[in-house]
Structure 1
């Protein structure tokens, strides 16, 4: 079997213990002391070795197991050495142990209406071994399934604020979120441990670290909920995976007080663009947003959204989506005279034609955009709002316990939303 443990959705970094050493002077001082009679021997005792024992699940001949089933391993007096799972034809099934050694997880959803045999061997430090075998069968394809979406794609580059975003249709109820979260796996290289947080309603979950990703980070993601019960009588439709990379660091900061956008690359201000934000009747939202979508050319048709009085239909270039409700950055040559002076848009961030084209060529999906001073707060879930709350608030959305090394974190002001 592969011995690399699964990196689960909740990564834990263990501190190293440091040994203190005495100085040469202290050793010399001890040698100078007059000799004394040796102390009487101290009685010592060692705890008897724990007998090697191994229990595995599912139980032998278990039927109707979910296609997401894991091979549970409970060991006393030793550790799991190997896990081998084969299907009914004798073909080995790929999988890995969880980091905590509690179970073996198949690398992809098992087949429905299929039989499997698992053989687990554990060993003690003394070299004693024990093997257990169990056979089981999986259930048929369920009649009700949860649809899933992963907003991350193979071989793409993303901005430093790109959260791992998973969508569930319908949303996952609170009773099932912990089990689902345990099957959401993220690995980062270099390591940057993070946490999952659920949006109210359970239709989305975000994964992020305390700070923006380091440029060049490799993200490897598996949403392993195919065949997993996501609600009573409802099961995940399929696994999803993606491997992507984080690009350079670029941030956009928009301040309503002076109606300017400042663009920072690797922490350095590279350009300031005049903007026009939402007019008083339709103010822009303030908050930390993320570029979700880019369209070089599109059509805004807002009659259904705003009605006949405020609605319009117009061709737009260099549009970058920030919210689901339509707040965007885009070129708006018709508002050039107002940019830097007054707010006249329907909630978007208007920039000049030249500024919009320049910015469009610079940005990546996942770049952070911070808008301040409009008096209207960004709603949770209106876009990828993972960065619109503090780390302390973000981790409250996890369905699993948070370890102290991630709970007690103060993000650096130089690498988190300003």
Structure 2
């Protein structure tokens, strides 16, 4: 991922297998008489030398062309990148300068398909791209392209991209990275947009973007985050075409970190919750789940939000039997449908024995306080044994889908990445759904 320390003109290298040259200029020196038949003379290569020498191979010359932006192009999107092709090149250098000759920082996109400026280019400005390729002969080949970016689009044609998480947030090991766009991204533009959301982590963790809806993307690691992981996201959407004459409003970043490895597991058969830290059980808590007519969901959820005090109000429920207004302590939301972990002093006598709630995970006041003080937004909870399966999209249910299915939500065919070599100078290395921006439905107690 590009970082503020990225060199202005990075040198790109690649391995190339040399192609053996045909000996089109070689032949046997003219001989006559018996010598031609008896073989008492070895053939002599044209150009001198004895029969044991071969001609010197001429080092291949490098060549390079810039395919985008084209030379003299006008109205180029400010989110453009430099696309080029180099042949027989051992090293390649890219330079981009503005009209005043000032260098523009940038680096190759991680997929190698183009050189990406460190930030969106200025609107209505002229730039010159120069790509220099050097082959085995040491002689450089150069291509240049001067182009002009488009005028700034009106605000009504700019699409914002926002993160659910704030900078420097500390998240649970099950938290997904969530980004929303100000309008639906057409399917034809989703791969290009997704490609500009660059994620790096330290230590490295494999992960992928998936489209939760046309306006929402989630990035999930293949397995739960490692405690202490540093996460850096660079959204390179500024000036990027997003379909229908719409363009990304600006570039943005997100920096966050992963807290302690806390996981919660609930078994409906035993009416117990097990709290695990670093994979080891550290506490067992009696629970009461949803009554038979309002069962809790079985599946893997994550804590969406936490409220020390709140009010559960279902007075608008069409069924009078389900109407109530109750003060709640230590509430932790799990689904948009209203399932929470929360203190329920009125059901302590049932906790660990039977299910009496409206779908929530009822615990005692003391246990609710313990959980509230040890969990984070993104702490995973897995419930098993209830008669109701968790609906995908009812909350952040990314972990309730197998990895092999989850990757299918990516607009770019997924290929497992190779673990990168650490660079100490770089940033840390990298179904219908509900709409979290909508008002969540009433909670269950």
Report the TM-score, using the length of structure 1 for normalisation: 0.80
- Does residue 133 of structure 2 align to residue 128 of structure 1? no
Alignment of 1:133-282 (within 5 A): 133=144, 134-142=146-154, 143-199=156-212, 201-282=213-294
Alignment of 1:82-101 (within 5 A): 82-101=93-112
Change (3 A) 1:257 1:241: same
- Does residue 396 of structure 2 align to residue 384 of structure 1? yes
Quote the Cα distance in structure 2 between the aligned partners of 1:385 and 1:187.
23
SS at match of 1:170: coil
SS at match of 1:369: strand
How far off is 1:108 after superposition? 2.5
SS at match of 1:231: coil
How far off is 1:56 after superposition? 4.2
Deviations 1:182-220 (A, max 9, x none): 111111111122221222x32322222321122221111
Alignment of 1:344-359 (within 5 A): 344-359=356-371
- Does residue 123 of structure 2 align to residue 112 of structure 1? yes
Which of residues 70, 81, 84 is equivalent to 1:73? 84
Q: Does structure 2 retain, via aligned residues, the 8 Å contact 1:188–1:220?
A: yes
Q: Does structure 2 retain, via aligned residues, the 8 Å contact 1:95–1:107?
A: yes
Change (3 A) 1:88 1:2: closer
The residue aligned with 2:322 is: 310
SS at match of 1:395: helix
SS at match of 1:177: helix
The residue aligned with 2:74 is: 63
Deviations 1:244-292 (A, max 9, x none): 2212211100111122111001111111111122223332221111112
Q: Which runs of 4+ in 1 moved over 6 A?
A: 40-48
How far off is 1:128 after superposition? 1.9
How far off is 1:308 after superposition? 5.2
Q: Does structure 1 retain, via aligned residues, the 8 Å contact 2:289–2:362?
A: yes
Deviations 1:28-73 (A, max 9, x none): xxxxxxxxxxxx9999997972542232421123222222111112
Change (3 A) 1:334 1:80: farther
Change (3 A) 1:174 1:46: farther
Change (3 A) 1:371 1:130: same
RMSD (Å), alpha carbons: 2.8
User: Unaligned regions of 5+ residues in structure 1, if any?
Assistant: 6-39, 407-418
Deviations 1:326-349 (A, max 9, x none): 222111212222222232222221
Quote the Cα distance in structure 2 between the aligned partners of 1:340 and 1:58.
66
Quote the Cα distance in structure 1 between the aligned partners of 2:289 and 2:255.
36
State the aligned residue count: 371
- Which 10-residue stretch deviates more, 44-53 or 108-117? 44-53
Quote the Cα distance in structure 2 between the aligned partners of 1:296 and 1:404.
41
Q: Does structure 2 retain, via aligned residues, the 8 Å contact 1:73–1:101?
A: no
Q: Does structure 2 retain, via aligned residues, the 8 Å contact 1:53–1:77?
A: no
Change (3 A) 1:346 1:43: farther
Q: Does structure 2 retain, via aligned residues, the 8 Å contact 1:54–1:122?
A: no
Q: Does structure 2 retain, via aligned residues, the 8 Å contact 1:183–1:223?
A: yes
Q: Does structure 2 retain, via aligned residues, the 8 Å contact 1:146–1:169?
A: yes
SS at match of 2:388: coil
Quote the Cα distance in structure 2 between the aligned partners of 1:114 and 1:223.
22
Deviations 1:148-203 (A, max 9, x none): 2213332222222222222234332322221111111111111122221222x323
Change (3 A) 1:259 1:2: farther
